[in-house]
Structure 1
């Protein structure tokens, strides 16, 4: 499946964001993750759990069913499943078939997010999750808030590609956060087994239109843009802008310091769960960033969904014409393909 090998979709033995932690509560929350329906909720002791969202009897969606204590009672025929996935009751008979079970998924809360392991639960390894420090989450002096969840009508890797290639900022986002320097600035890159760090420094760059309005400054800036990708779908970035050093009055003053967090989780082969969160130095700044960045996310979503339409409607996909600035994107694809290849060999 484009852009991967034929038959490859997404790694399953990996951690994906299932929800913002604040989304999970007493009510049943339905979400598709890596091609499977999932239900999330909190037990009476506050522990967040994730179980399969399909009743094995007639496939009724358990997210449209009823909670009974810490269990879910199917809304179709009353089969009851515990948070461990085992069926404890079949109302129409006294015995419960031993095969009646739904998946119970490992779930870990970290930072603002609940991460799910949709693959083999015996292989779930919390050490593969980035720490809050690695994410850039929890730094002193910053306020962090969930911002937006969107169900995107496009395959997840299109969003990963978008976030790994920031040269598009001056064009797709040219009226908001991007300038031409984003494409021409040299990139520093580090690539690991499941991680990529990318950093660009721009000296004397134009101040992006939205940041100029937020920072009450429209002169030249020294800008640092960085993004760290934690495979298969978590991106943590920063965008810092300073008044250029030779400015006579405000030299070196920080006019914007923002942390951005994107979580990209495949829902199905052609739909993606997209989570966005922000970190800023004050409540007013975070609120201003939310207002400013809403249309920016819409632009990324628009690009993703339009590319998906082209792919689905094309009888034949021509080879991509790759350039040097695609290196980080290609490295990200390679990491995910290796993860999928390892799973295939293990099976």
Structure 2
């Protein structure tokens, strides 16, 4: 499935953000993840759990059911399951069939996020989750805040592509967070087994319009912009503005921030999008939560507009690539390789059990 090979749309064996930790509480939280319904809640002792989100009897959604203590009672026929996924009660009979259980997903809270592993639970290594140090969460003097949990009507890789190619900042977001130098400045890339990194250093460059809301200074700046993509769906962004060399305070930081974009496949053609940010003051964060919402809406609009074209055309022509596509293409190849490995492992398992 575009832009991957037929049958591929997202890796399963990987940690994705299922929710902001603050979203998970006593109420049942329903969300689709990798084409499966999932329901999340906190047990009485505060543990966040993620369970298969449908009753195995008639596929009624557990998000539309109710809690009884730490159990979920199906709102259709009253069949009840505990926080481990085990069936504990069937109103219509005294015995519980042995096949009556639902899947419990590995779920780990770290920082602002609750991370879910949709694939083989035996492979759910918590060491694969980006550390808080790696993503700049623990920087001194910075305050992390969760901003938006959004549902976007476009396949997950379209948003990954968006975040891996920041040349769009000066055009899609030209009235807010970008300038043409975001495209004109060469990027420096770095790749390791955990993440793909991109940085642009713009010297003596104009300030993006929204950046000037945080300072009285109106002159040019030296600016660093970049993103670290932790496979398969977490992007940690850096934004730093300093006085330029021509300024008496050359090199001094004007503003600095970290942003975090988590992109999780919902269905094959929709995704869940979680945006968070850290800054040096709560006042700045409160202002940014208002001013950045239209920026995120622009990304959602672009993603959904492309999705409509992809789904509507009889035949999708090949993309005409540019030099600026190198990072996005690398990201696609990494994810395709993850999916190819899963396919080979699945075929090997099927052959072994045939």
TM over 0.5: yes
Q: Do structure 1's residue 22 and structure 2's residue 36 form an aligned pair? A: no
SS in 1 for 2:292: helix
More moved, 81-90 vs 28-37: 81-90
Return the alpha-carbon distance in structure 2 between the equivalents of residues 251 and 122 of structure 1. 52
Specify the SS of the correspondent of 1:160. helix
Q: Which residue of 1 aligns with 2:70?
A: 70
CA RMSD of aligned residues (A): 1.0
Within 5 Å, give how 1:152-171 maps onto structure 2.
Answer: 152-171=152-171
Query: Which residue pairs with 1:92 in the alignment?
Result: 92
How far has the Cα of 1:212 moved from its partner? 1.3
1:169 touches 1:177 (CA, 8 Å); kept in 2? yes
Distance 1:24 1:216 in 2: 40
With structure 2 as the length reference, what TM-score do the two structures score? Answer: 0.96
Match for residue 264 of structure 1? Answer: 263
1:133 aligned counterpart, secondary structure? coil
Q: Distance in 1 between matches of 2:293 and 2:11?
A: 30
Cα deviation digits, residues 81-128 of structure 1 (max 9, x gap): 111111111110011111111110000001100000011111111111
In structure 2, how many angstroms separate the alpha carbons of the residues matched to 1:53 and 1:238? 36
Contact map agreement 1:168 1:182 (CA 8 A) in 2: yes
Aligned length: 346
Instruction: Quote the offset at 1:289 in angstroms.
Output: 1.8
2:174 aligned residue: 174
- Is the 1:49–1:83 contact (alpha carbons within 8 Å) kept by the matching residues of 2? yes
Q: Which runs of 5+ in 2 are unaligned?
A: 347-354
Contact (CA 8 Å) 1:147, 1:290: kept in 2 or not?
yes
Counterpart for residue 254 of structure 1: 253
Quick check: 1:80 aligned with 2:64? Answer: no
> 1:16: Cα distance to partner?
0.4
1:134-184 Cα deviation digits (max 9, x unpaired): 111121100010001110000000000000001111111111110111111
> Which residue matches 2:299?
300
What SS is found at the alignment partner of 2:332? helix
Assess if the C-alpha contact under 8 Å between 1:33 and 1:265 holds in 2: yes
**Cα pair 1:39 1:50 within 8 Å, conserved:** yes
TM-score w.r.t. the length of structure 1 is 0.98
Query: What stretches of structure 1 move > 6 A for 4+ residues in a row?
Result: none
Q: CA deviation at 1:254?
A: 2.2
* Aligned: 1:202 with 2:182: no
Alignment of 1:204-243 (within 5 A): 204-243=204-243
CA contact (8 A) 1:28 1:39 kept: yes
CA distance in structure 2 between the aligned counterparts of 1:15 and 1:94, rounded to whole angstroms: 39
My pick for the range that moved more, 280-289 or 41-50, is: 280-289
Partner in structure 2 of residue 334 of structure 1 = 333
Specify every segment of 5 or more residues in structure 1 that has no aligned partner in the other structure, as ranges: none
Helix, strand or coil: the match of 1:140?
coil
SS of 1:135's equivalent in the other structure is coil
- Structure 1 CA distance for aligned equivalents of residues 104 and 202 of structure 2: 47
Q: Does 2:34 correspond to 1:57?
A: no
Distance between the aligned counterparts of 2:183 and 2:24, measured in 1? 39
In structure 2, the partner of 1:187 is 187
Q: Distance in 1 between matches of 2:176 and 2:82?
A: 48
Tell me how far apart the structure 1 counterparts of residues 333 and 102 of structure 2 sit (CA, whole Å): 33
Q: Per the alignment, in what secondary structure is the counterpart of residue 240 of structure 1?
A: strand
